Structure 1
Amino acid sequence: MKWGLTVYGTVFDMGIHPQSGRQPITPKELIDMAAVRGLEGIEIPDRILREHDPDTVAAYAQDKGMFINIASGGFDAAHLKEALELGERVGAVTVRTVVGGAKFGGDRRHMAGTWQPFLHDILTGFQAAVETAERTGVNLAVENHQDLASEELLWLCDRIGSDRFGITLDTGNPLATAEEPVSFFRRVAPFVKNVHLKDYWVYGSEEGYRLVRCPMGQGVVPFAELIRILSEAQPDVTLSLEHGALEARHVRVLEEDYWTEYPGRSASQLTRLMRFIQDHVKEQGDWRTPYEKGEPPEAIAAYERDQLETGLAYMTSLIRRTRVS
């Protein structure tokens, strides 16, 4: 396993958010930030990487002993081919992409009657792009970005059938598609190429529950079990710290129409999910982030930095335990 750092989760501090008032972090700065914290790699958006000479970035990362993953997006084959070719130039391990479609909190209600055609469009785009992944030797890995459920991720992997295609596992997001995390981890583990280490607090609501960002190790995600599963299934996987978004994700599982366009789920699956929520839920408290409270950019950036340092401390302890075992 190799451990790294993403830019998402610190979008104000790293100048990614348009309201931050800061210049975006450079690849070199992100590499240095990861290196000084004893990490082994980075994941950086392709739009930032394109603003810098890829050969220079590749040489700098190699000199520091750092892996590079690229954060891209969509399922347009031409765009993904460009990202994969950029990945080849910088020596990237994986290009991660997201497909969208669902709203925050796994809400598909607006896509009633159109979700299945949407999935087939995704499949077509990935099937075309994976040829470039195989040629370049760079993985293409779709993320569970609060949109695709495990059933659909496995369907894509089965239909594409390439060793260069797989999954970027976001550890916090199974709950956004109404899935108990450990069950999700086990199901997708054979196809995981890359991991985003994200944690959440869970706050109850009349409609279901809210996922609220928190430092890694302070929320509900069972990281020790995750590492045990991945140690067996994907011992060479890359894992990068990524704190959650600045807006809570409301997962309305207690509303009947929430399940619009979802795969059929068994009673036992729903029981495991709701038991997990019941065991971890916070019923009271102000769950809003500084961003949701309308605080100024510097206050939001400071909040992100504090959570990053707390999460990194936990991540460092997890790395030590993993290497000892």
Structure 2
Amino acid sequence: MQRRQFIAAGAIGAVSAVSQSSAFCMNDTGGKRIPLGLDGHSMRSMRFKKWKATQLIEFAAEQTLDAALFNGLHYFESLEASYLKGLKDLADRHEIKLYTGAGGIANNGKQFKDTWGTAEELLTTGIRVAKTLGSPVVNVRIGSIDDRFLDGGIQPRIDEAVRVLKASSSRARDAGIKFGFENHAADLRSEELVTLVEEVGTDVCGLMLDPGNGLWAMEDPMKHLETLAPYTVCNSIRDYTVWPSEDGAIFQWMAVGEGMMDVPKYVDTLASANPGMPIFVESISNSARPIPYLTREYWKAYPNLDASQIIDFLKLVRKGKPAKIDKPAEGQDEKTFDQEHERNEFLRSIAYLREHCGAGLKS
């Protein structure tokens, strides 16, 4: 099947396949609101206060959210069935839908960890956890842009991920779970994601879509979305800015509504393609990162990429302006500062989405 044919055919199949719980409303285009959720990574500094899934569910309930995403097994104090069922009961009491992830599944990836065994064993556990918690997906990924610089480039990592997913696909189908393959830390571009999903099979594999990581991979997140929205089964959202530098560009993620993203258009496009899917806020900011595309070394990560494929990204670079970096006040504990900064940024993000994008069923 040609890629263009795949996009057309996959759009129909993916849109119908990603219908979520009937408790969730359709998107705002029909006058109904969009489920709004917490990506646990938004509150990552709360790990110093020993926050795990229980505390994050309670925080989501305090903010009257509709869903929570735990994009890795490290959020759970135990993987025993009794503990997981207790979490499900807690979430149900607060009318919070849970989504889960398993992490990296490329055994040959730079960041792969064997904490839960091989990639196949990790997926077996991830599917079981998702099933117990009522998650319609188990999110997976390769790793980061560093994988593009390994011997052979990114393709051996893609091949390994496809192999692992195919080996686990029957188990996922039996459980009624779909894989959500994430574009993570600039490891994959949209054309690579489409090819991967096609090879695994759209009946069992969709995408965990992250616009911030799309930008990092030298894509305009809005164009990125247009291609990938029909295959998306889970997502995280944050805003961004990007600006020119001597070696190429520098980007920084921001609170939703405070950067360059046309957030209402982004949310409407994503929600229209995926009725009932929550919009998860993964706020990350206060850290500028380079994209040195004017250096020869950087292009070793993209041997098959044509310069014409980053035109939309380059247009963004020309429009963007630097963002400030907030720092702790003199004498303020850095951990406390990070916790307060993350909380405030998350709250600003969900407030914007509620006011401008029709997000939040309980608003």
Q: How many residues are treated as equivalent by the alignment?
A: 307
Match of 1:56 among 86, 101, 126: 86
Match of 1:214 among 254, 257, 260: 254
Distance of 1:187 and 1:289 partners within structure 2? 37
My pick for the range that moved more, 77-86 or 248-257, is: 248-257
State the SS of the aligned residue for 2:41: coil
Match of 1:309 among 347, 350, 353: 347
State the SS of the aligned residue for 2:302: coil
How far does the alpha carbon of each residue in 1:252-307 deviate from its partner, in whole angstroms, 9 at most, with x for none? Answer: 1222332224264455432221111211233xx654766xxx96211221221221
The residue type paired with residue 336 of structure 2 is: E
Aligned counterpart, 2:281: 241
> Does residue 1:276 correspond to 2:316, yes or no?
yes
Alignment of 1:224-303 (within 5 A): 224-244=264-284, 247-262=287-302, 264-282=304-322, 286-287=324-325, 296-303=334-341
The residue type paired with residue 56 of structure 2 is: L
Task: Show structure 2 runs of 5+ residues with no match.
Answer: 1-33, 106-118
How many angstroms does 1:149 deviate by? Answer: 0.9
The residue type paired with residue 125 of structure 2 is: E
Match of 1:163 among 191, 195, 203: 203
State the SS of the aligned residue for 2:255: coil
How many angstroms does 1:321 deviate by? Answer: 6.9
State the SS of the aligned residue for 2:318: helix
Distance of 2:290 and 2:302 partners within structure 1? 17
How many angstroms does 1:160 deviate by? Answer: 0.9
Q: In 2, are the aligned partners of 1:248 and 1:288 still within 8 Å (CA)?
A: no
> Does residue 1:143 correspond to 2:182, yes or no?
yes
State the SS of the aligned residue for 2:44: coil
Distance of 1:278 and 1:214 partners within structure 2? 18
Task: Decide whether aligned partners of structure 1 residues 299 and 222 sit closer, same or farther in structure 2, where only a CA change above 3 A counts.
Answer: same
Task: Decide whether aligned partners of structure 1 residues 246 and 100 sit closer, same or farther in structure 2, where only a CA change above 3 A counts.
Answer: farther
Q: In 2, are the aligned partners of 1:200 and 1:244 still within 8 Å (CA)?
A: no
Aligned counterpart, 2:57: 31
> Does residue 1:100 correspond to 2:143, yes or no?
yes
How far does the alpha carbon of each residue in 1:65-110 deviate from its partner, in whole angstroms, 9 at most, with x for none? Answer: 211011321111220121111110111122212211523xxx83x3
Q: In 1, are the aligned partners of 2:65 and 2:360 still within 8 Å (CA)?
A: no
Runs of 4+ more than 6 Å apart:
none
Aligned counterpart, 1:41: 67
Match of 1:113 among 152, 155, 159: 152
Distance of 1:239 and 1:170 partners within structure 2? 11
How many angstroms does 1:211 deviate by? Answer: 2.1
Task: Decide whether aligned partners of structure 1 residues 50 and 176 sit closer, same or farther in structure 2, where only a CA change above 3 A counts.
Answer: same
Q: In 2, are the aligned partners of 1:171 and 1:221 still within 8 Å (CA)?
A: no
Task: Decide whether aligned partners of structure 1 residues 112 and 223 sit closer, same or farther in structure 2, where only a CA change above 3 A counts.
Answer: farther
How many angstroms does 1:164 deviate by? Answer: 2.6
How many angstroms does 1:8 deviate by? Answer: 0.9
Task: Decide whether aligned partners of structure 1 residues 322 and 99 sit closer, same or farther in structure 2, where only a CA change above 3 A counts.
Answer: same
Task: Decide whether aligned partners of structure 1 residues 212 and 81 sit closer, same or farther in structure 2, where only a CA change above 3 A counts.
Answer: same
State the SS of the aligned residue for 1:120: helix
Match of 1:154 among 176, 189, 194: 194
Q: What is the TM-score with the length of structure 2 in the denominator?
A: 0.77
Match of 2:218 among 178, 196, 202: 178
Q: What is the TM-score with the length of structure 1 in the denominator?
A: 0.86
Task: Decide whether aligned partners of structure 1 residues 81 and 50 sit closer, same or farther in structure 2, where only a CA change above 3 A counts.
Answer: farther
Distance of 1:251 and 1:288 partners within structure 2? 21
State the SS of the aligned residue for 2:358: helix
State the SS of the aligned residue for 2:145: coil
Distance of 2:154 and 2:84 partners within structure 1? 37
Task: Decide whether aligned partners of structure 1 residues 10 and 30 sit closer, same or farther in structure 2, where only a CA change above 3 A counts.
Answer: closer
Distance of 1:278 and 1:115 partners within structure 2? 29
My pick for the range that moved more, 187-196 or 307-316, is: 307-316
Distance of 1:289 and 1:201 partners within structure 2? 19
Distance of 1:140 and 1:153 partners within structure 2? 13
State the SS of the aligned residue for 1:190: helix
How many angstroms does 1:4 deviate by? Answer: 0.5
Of all paired residues, the percent bearing the same amino acid is 23
Task: Show structure 1 runs of 5+ residues with no match.
Answer: none
How many angstroms does 1:166 deviate by? Answer: 0.8
